[in-house]
Amino acid sequence: MFVDIAKIKIKAGDGGDGAVSFHREKYVAAGGPDGGDGGRGGNIIFQADDNLSTLADFRYKRKYVAQNGENGKAGRSTGKSAADLVIRVPRGTIIKDAETGRLIADISGNEPVIVAKGGNGGWGNSHFATPTRQIPRFSKPGLAGEEFEIQLELKLLADVGLVGFPNVGKSTLVSVVSEAKPTIANYHFTTLTPVLGVVRMGEESSFVIADIPGLIEGANEGLGLGHHFLRHIERCRLLVHIVDVSGSEGRNPIDDFNAINNELKKFNTDILNRPMIVVGNKCDLTTDEEIDKFKKYVEEMGYEFFPIMAAIKYGVDDLLKSIQEKLSKLPPIKKFEADYYTKEDLNSKDINIVKQDDIYIVEGEWLLNLLRTVNFDDYESLQYFQRVLISSGVIDKLRDFGVQEGDTVSIYNLEFDFVN
């Protein structure tokens, strides 16, 4: 089964907690704090794998969780960092945030891509020792790993994309110019999934061609196979638009040509701006006058035209030479640039303050991590919490909001009286 879209949840590992420990050894007085740091949580890494051709595996497993880092230990021993979780996907898969639709990564190259970062380990209490605070009884917990719901979309990597109505000869052309063996029959939608073929033009010269399932008018609205496979054209450097120039199915070739171009434009305007070669197939079923009429029409629009009979390879060699020449002048296959800001990028000290029933409620994602570091039974830990609120500007923002001394402030259910 060809699956080219999937939605999964990923969760990077949490960092291990720092340890609270004091050195104890015979004949060593006041050994001091020696709690070690927690280990880093495992990252979620995506890696292209050329042995995979679909996203079918993600239909059955929809949640991927990396291991947590090990907690710190006594003797300043740092906890073991967790192994990264590597998820293998077909080359050409793009990863989007399922909620916002923003692009996180394009898995087209050979290098692994970290999509969700594991949380850093927390500091042990040995980090908090100072001349005035010699026995800190608190440590930092590990930070949570990043967690996303993501959408995987496979956009095939091909140099040339074949487009056109069903049953115009796209699969036949692929079968005669490459080793690919698509299903060929005289009925619509024989090709139900994209087919890739490698066209070899000589030593160390080749290109990849993609047979995209036939489009019909209204495809962008879901008719026929819909726009389900149009995404696979988005990377193609060159389009080859195949038209049944004979009108063997009772349609006008010019109308067919315009209808498909209109569907491409509605799906993505950028696609129609790609270089395009127009191919008139089934020339043996029509007259030279009809072929010339169609040729004149497309050439007036600025397209190069090739008449062929794909089944017997008539005119195919000239077409391939033109494709090769054009590809040599075109930029590489398109790679999509990420437009997603990670939690780390967004991890500013921004907060939101609202007043509800005489209580000033303060929210901010970074405050959740701060609260996890505080031991409310330890005076020195509370002092640390207060200093962070001051240094991060939270106290100043509360004053600017109009909070007065004695007013109640709530930070994620931690309530306290404001003191100037």
Q: What is the pLDDT of residue 183?
A: 61
As a whole number of angstroms, the distance between CA 254 and CA 296 comes to: 11
As a whole number of angstroms, the distance between CA 200 and CA 209 comes to: 11
Q: State yes or no: pLDDT of 329 exceeds 70.
A: yes
**Considering the domain 352-417 in this protein, what is its CATH number?**
3.30.300.350
Q: What is the pLDDT of residue 115?
A: 93
> What are the pLDDT digits (tens) for 330-385?
988 878 777 765 554 444 567 889 888 888 999 887 787 777 767 777 777 787 78
> What are the pLDDT digits (tens) for 33-87?
889 999 999 999 999 998 887 888 898 899 999 999 999 998 889 999 999 999 9
> What are the pLDDT digits (tens) for 81-139?
999 999 999 999 999 999 888 899 999 989 999 999 999 998 888 887 877 677 787 78
Q: How far, CA to CA in Å, does 192 sit from each of 1, 103, 215, 276, 371?
A: 10, 27, 11, 23, 54
Contact yes or no for 244/251 (Cβ under 8 A): yes
As a whole number of angstroms, the distance between CA 153 and CA 252 comes to: 35
pLDDT bucket at 192, cuts 50 / 70 / 90: low
| Residue range(s) occupied by CATH 3.40.50.300 in the chain | 160-327
| Residue range(s) occupied by CATH 2.70.210.12 in the chain | 1-154
Residue with tokens 């692009």: 103
In eight-state DSSP terms, residue 357 is T
Q: What is the mean pLDDT of the chain?
A: 84
Alpha-carbon dihedral 384, 385, 389, 391, rounded to 10 degrees: 20
In eight-state DSSP terms, residue 5 is E
**CATH topology assigned to domain 160-327:** Rossmann fold (3.40.50)
Amino acid at 265: K
Residue with tokens 């002048």: 329
Q: What is the pLDDT of residue 1?
A: 44
CA atoms within 13 A of residue 99's CA, in its CB half-sphere: 5
**CATH topology assigned to domain 1-154:** Spo0b-associated Gtp-binding Protein; Chain: A, (2.70.210)
Amino acid at 26: K
**Which of these, 242, 110, 76, lies nearest to 170 by C-alpha position?**
242
Least confident of 43-57, 257-271, 286-300: 257-271
- Strand 205-211: give its sheet, edge to edge: 195-202, 205-211, 160-163, 238-244, 276-281, 304-307
Q: Does the predicted model carry a pTM greater than 0.85?
A: no
